[in-house]
Structure 1
Amino acid sequence: MTETKTLDENQLPDNTDQEQDSAHHRKIKSFVLRAGRMTTGQQKGWDVIFPKQGLRLEDGLLDLETTFGRKAPLVVEIGFGMGLSLVEMAGNEQDKNFIGIEVHRPGVGSLMNESDKAGLSNLRAFCDDAVEVLARCIPDNSIDRMQIYFPDPWHKKRHNKRRLVQPEFVAAILPKLKQGGVLHLATDWENYAEQMMEVMSAAEGYKNQAGDQNYSPRPDYRPITKFEKRGERLGHGVWDLLFEKV
């Protein structure tokens, strides 16, 4: 994800807290849906490229070798934003297959357009809820690396329960990882980093690659985005967590 997805709660209707809190207890979701117009490039990516390179929830469980036309390590990213960093990673690691999951059409359109311009054949995308995609489309024991970068921090304490990284969600990811596969989390909110560490340290089946309660240095494969560079200039920290399936 190239930017933290933060929605100003003051823009929401007065009853949103009540409705979303109720929905949270009914069903986990990995996103908050926001409207947005597409640029010409994003529209092209959605209209022209996505029908060829996109993946659809209703098609069910993927045959990954058929999907990519080859057998290769699989990297999945949840919430890739406009997709620029994911395109960069797919271009740098062409020995791997990449699947991005993003619910916002402008972002998916952007990813598809940029992927096409880069001539990539190893990148596919879903425009659907990651919870549903994991449950219905991703085979067990198939993912070498799962990436969740800069998810919405829901920084107000009363909204922390809406954060994506929760015990039930990381438990749902575990069976999709290969043995030795890695869940890589990154955030620029220290409080969220602490929550991530708490959740992951308590989760069964995971081991912190940096050692108990330690954050990891940023791996070379994760690009530093303009958003992150701006945060660093302002003195903001970034925390990476790499937990391995054991």
Structure 2
Amino acid sequence: MRSPPAPPPPLFPHPPDWARDAADRLAAKHGTFAGIEDRAGPLPWPVREAGFPGLLRAICAQLVSNEAAFAIWRRVSALPGATTPEGFLALAPERVGIEGGLTRQKVRHARALAEAILSGALRLDGLAAMEDEAAIAHLCEIKGIGRWTAEVHLVFSLQRPDVFPSGDLALQAAAQHLMGLDARPDAKAMAAIARDWAPHRSVAARLLWHHWLHHTKRATLDPA
């Protein structure tokens, strides 16, 4: 008797054990997170490459929808050499703009990032030894890397457990929806709310993104 075909692999891997434990703790302790995975399915765990590729992808995602960010990233990463600092700088800025779909400002920011890595001004190898706020501050020294971009890099590329991008509009909207707030909290209010979710704020952010993508029926499970 033929065995049934194996199910297709998940779009993203399952969360690591530490994150799975954190998600369960959040759901048990805070009503905001209870039932998210029952409604939206198991929490996906997208991980991005650390260093230049991950930061470049975060730059692609600045101030655009997640669908647009994913489409732009596919175009940019398909350019020859674009995911290394040396290769990106070797590409004509006009080509990156036309074929990659990046704005002129984002091209300038990505080139500044590549130059900072090659010059040693951005110490990527030193990020692992830095506390979260120190790592965010170091990344933000580079033109075009703001707090949201740095925090997203720490969440998705470095897999830090307690970083919350409070300025993210989708996280604010998800919190408003789940908590029944009258208005969407701004970054300061969102950060204050998220303090209660420490030391699991990165997982809290992933759960909120997961809820919002399901609630809004977005085409991608990649939140940022």
Rg larger for: 2
* Structure with higher strand content: 1
TM-score normalized with structure 2 length: 0.27
* Structure with higher helix content: 2
TM-score normalized with structure 1 length: 0.25
